[in-house]
Amino acid sequence: MEPPLFTDRQFEILKLMADGYTRQEIAGKLNLSPETIKSHSKTILGKFAASTFREAYADIHNYLKYFSLNQSTGRYYWARLHRSLTIAHDYSSSYLEHHARGYVVRGEVSELVIRLRSHLSPRIVIINGSSPTRTDFSGEIRSFYLDIDPPLVQGSPIVRHSSYIMQEPPSVRCTFTAQQIVCPVGEMVMVTKFPTTPPNNIRVSVIDESSRVDIRDRHPECSVEIGQVTVVTVKNPEYGARYMVHWDPETP
């Protein structure tokens, strides 16, 4: 289900509902009539395709986990995220293209971000056709920002097209590509293009704080096509998890 949009008042009531307050208690806290709260509650539950709070309990708590504004930036949803890695013949360099589209769910989005984990810095970073406005390097986390002016508001479509080149040291071969899920995603497609015959033992894993498992164990419905062009498609990848395509090292 794509995340619904709420007015500030509806969102305030939603949070109180999730905290266990009754309709009467919410009315008292917000200085509104119980009938007004009842009307808002019906609208809120309807956006989760539910008629009772019990039916919508899991969806509501997941929604609040993702979209509560406890950070300085707005929150968005990617309906589709597509990343494509093209590996050079020597397996030392690679070119990554990243395309995502969705909409703003809460607050205002004033910047687009590319963030990757690497001890190396990528080259020729482009975001929506422009060079990054600013960068931030902290340990192995490389962050690249493109400012949006004016900011995108709730309900606005949001698109991010980015690309960059990674160059490994001469003695190092590319052996994986990974995508961290940092916001809710409807569908993710990971494409890995090998220069010739695909390497041995290509695997696709889901990594979280406590485990690394085969993607089919976590997403039985996913599609994994192994070949010179390896394509992984998964619906609703897990928020916070890292999805990795990895293989045995190649010696050119």
pLDDT in tens, 6-15: 999 999 999 9
* Alpha carbon distance 244, 207 (integer Å): 8
Q: What is the mean pLDDT of residues 239-247?
A: 95
Which helix (H) or strand (E) is 40 found in, with range? helix 34-47
- In the chain, where are the structural domains located? 8-67, 75-246
Alpha carbons within 13 angstroms on the beta-carbon side of residue 214 total 9
pTM of the model: 0.91
In the CATH hierarchy, which top-level class contains the domain 75-246? mainly beta
Residues with Cβ within 8 Å of 176's Cβ and at least 6 positions away in sequence, in order, are 244, 245, 246, 247
Q: Which residue spans within the chain are E strands per DSSP?
A: 75-87, 93-106, 109-117, 123-127, 134-138, 141-152, 157-167, 176-180, 185-193, 203-207, 212-214, 223-225, 229-235, 242-246
pLDDT at site 169: 87
pLDDT at site 251: 53
Comparing 65-74, 81-90, 135-144, the range with the smallest average pLDDT is 65-74
* Alpha carbon distance 91, 195 (integer Å): 8
Question: DSSP character for 32?
Answer: -
Assigned architecture for domain 8-67:
Orthogonal Bundle (1.10)
At 171-206, the pLDDT tens digits run 888 999 999 999 999 999 999 999 988 998 999 999
More confident residue, 117 or 19: 19
Q: Which band of pLDDT confidence, cut at 50, 70 and 90, is reported for residue 70? A: low
